[in-house]
A and B are shown apart, each in its own frame.
Chain A
Amino acid sequence: MNIAVAVKVVPDDQDITVAPDRSLDSSKAHQIASEYDLNAIEAAAQLAEAEGARLVAISASNAKAGDMKVRKSILSRGPEELLMIADDAYAFADSRTTAKALAKLVGDVEGGVDLVVCGDGSADMYAGQVNVQLASVLGVPCINSVTAMRMENGALVVERTLDDVVEEIEVALPAVVGVSPDIALPRIAGMREILAAGKKPATVNDAAAAGVDTNGTVEIDSVVAPELADRKREIFDTKNDGDLDAFIDAVAGVIR
């Protein structure tokens, strides 16, 4: 059995700065695996370990995502191989375009892929759409919000948790699943795994070399930091006499 886990590499939002014109600058940001994708890697790694399956990480991310440290970081968390398209076309790509690139990588996996595991959403867009689009491109079933999964008689059985109901669903393979962060707590990569990661195979190409089409289905007009809503900022302190009463009067005024 072969399992692929899709990982988006994004700039660390802690390092993204906002310019005076409210535009964002991520040129100095470190590249990291999108937060919830770490849970997807863990869930996929646990399933692969339980089934004796081979786990391959796939990624279509920005041009800096091919950085050696990012590769090792992903490979230190369970996958045996990494296939990546690193190209700035994928920094803001729509879900269909990203899914087409991932589908290409799925096709590159030796022996084919039985299951693709995705996070429910990436840190930047949080659309939860790449998994569905990928399933459509591959022509396979898709389910999301998965909080547990196991193999049973050649089919995948998932627990799917929504606000008001928990469903047990059987998914015929091959398939794509979107997993909730709840499914598994990411392992802390130890030095043993980190050292081994550098020896695992990784293939990184840009879009042209990978032979994928980057013409998008969505255009981006702008990405700007929001203007902070103008708040009154009347601050009271219980250390000052009369402040508590003044605060209560102000609050009573707005809740009535």
Chain B
Amino acid sequence: MDFSLTDEQQLLVESLQEYAERYFDDQSVMDMYEAHQVPAEAQDAYRDAGFPFMGLPEEVGGIPTDHVTLGLMTEKLYEFTGAMTPFMTGMLACADLAEFGTPEQAAVIMEEYEKSGQSVAALCLSEPAAGSDNMGMTCVTKKQADGSFILSGQKTWVTNGADVPYLIVIAKDEDASRDNTKMSLWLVKRETPGISTAHLTKIGQHTVPFVEVYFDDVVVTEDQRIGEAGAGWLLLMKNFEFERCLVVAQGLGLAQAAQNDAVKYAKERIAFNKPIITNPRVQDLIEENEIILQQTRHWLYYCLWKLDQGESINADIAMLKSWGTRAHVQLADNAIEIFGGLGYTEEVRVGRIWRDLRGNMLAGGTCEVMDYIAGRAIPKWYAD
């Protein structure tokens, strides 16, 4: 067992730190949350350093790497910036496109990244009446006499949906009824006639806004279908486990940033003539936070390592995501407590991190759905 990082991983972490220091100082991050976006300059610099290509296959111009390194990259980016950024969601969409798409479809990744550092695609999955209950989705494509298809329906909570050139849409084939399990993935230009978006205001994570997307009789053609007809859901499911790892990695990085701030403050803040870090109750909070950090970190890298061994982590990551994202919110809550009244102001960032982390309990599946997945799987680990 080896917990050390390779030289290359350490240098990657250093590059992320340089990147974060250059584009994500406190004022810039506050401006990003106000503007509800990460500025083009910071996105282009992310692209220039080659970060979005990490984990993509060589054939599409990517830099193949293991899941552990991608998790590390995510954790550190979030720790160093202390902010939500659109990059990992963008990477996951590109990974789907590269893995399941035709060479022509995958070629749009590099075409778009040559234009700007903005994410290439956003995944349109959830619907107003079909979140965790995916089979309830009603977005549908119907084949026309001329061989083209008409896509209609509505998607919601589409992260970065307003800012990307492409949407990856999952829709039922021909029949919108619950019994129909045949779905396909489609690569659709966001500017296609019939597509419109409406902004939804989140209570946190303002830098990765999500939108509702409406498809009003949008014409799509067979060459836009990603993967085999009817296999869309199975394809998407393949990457759910890794997506959940990244949600935890994001939360871990933000949680570490909150703990960094809280410990620094506790060392400097004088009350009753001494730094508050000498107070046993404050030490308790800091220790609880450290337990959460170490626990989620070790568990996360174990999950990523298992993925790299080609093993399923369906229940492992479900448990970690359920417990870990909840624990990270508790950690940020403790950080606010350490800051006292100041922690409840916009003067410090622990409150913002707390709001951001609450969203990660929902992203990629709620805690309850995670518990359901794990709850069904665990009994099978034990002999009857």
Contacts and interface: CB of A to CB of B under 8 A. Distances in A.
Interface string A195-238: 10110000000000000000000000000000000000000000
B10 interface: yes
Contact of A198 (B8, B49, B50, B53): B8
Contact of A191 (B22, B48, B54): B54
Contact of A194 (B12, B19, B22): B12
Given A76-B11, A194-B8, 13 more contacts: A69-B10, A72-B7, A187-B48, A187-B49, A188-B15, A188-B19, A188-B49, A189-B49, A191-B53, A192-B50, A197-B11, A198-B7, A198-B8
A2 interface: no
A190 interface: yes
A76 B11 CA distance: 9
A191 B65 contact: yes
Contacts of B51: 190-191
B129 interface: no
Interface of A: 68-69, 72-73, 76, 186-195, 197-198
Contacts of B63: 191-192, 195
B11 A69 contact: yes
A13 to B, nearest CB: 16
A188 B18 contact: yes
Interface of B: 7-8, 10-12, 14-15, 18-19, 22, 45, 48-51, 53-54, 63, 65
A191 B12 contact: yes
Contacts of A186: 18
Q: Which applies to chain A's interface (DSSP): helix, strand, loop or mixed?
A: helix
Task: Kindly name the residue among B7, B11, B12, B53 whose own CB sees the greatest number of chain A CB atoms within 10 A.
Answer: B11
B319 to A, nearest CB: 31
Nearest to A32: B14
B15 A189 contact: yes
26 contacts: A186-B18, A187-B48, A187-B49, A188-B19, A188-B45, A188-B48, A189-B14, A189-B49, A190-B15, A190-B48, A190-B49, A190-B50, A190-B51, A191-B12, A191-B15, A191-B51, A191-B53, A191-B54, A191-B65, A192-B50, A194-B11, A194-B12, A194-B15, A195-B8, A195-B63, A198-B7
A76 to B, nearest CB: 6
B14 A73 contact: yes
B203 to A, nearest CB: 32
A76 B50 CA distance: 13
A190 B54 CA distance: 10
Contacts of B12: 191, 194
A102 B251 CA distance: 47
B11 A73 contact: yes
A72 B8 contact: yes
A34 to B, nearest CB: 15
Contacts of A193: 50
Contacts of B48: 187-188, 190
A72 B19 CA distance: 18
A16 to B, nearest CB: 18
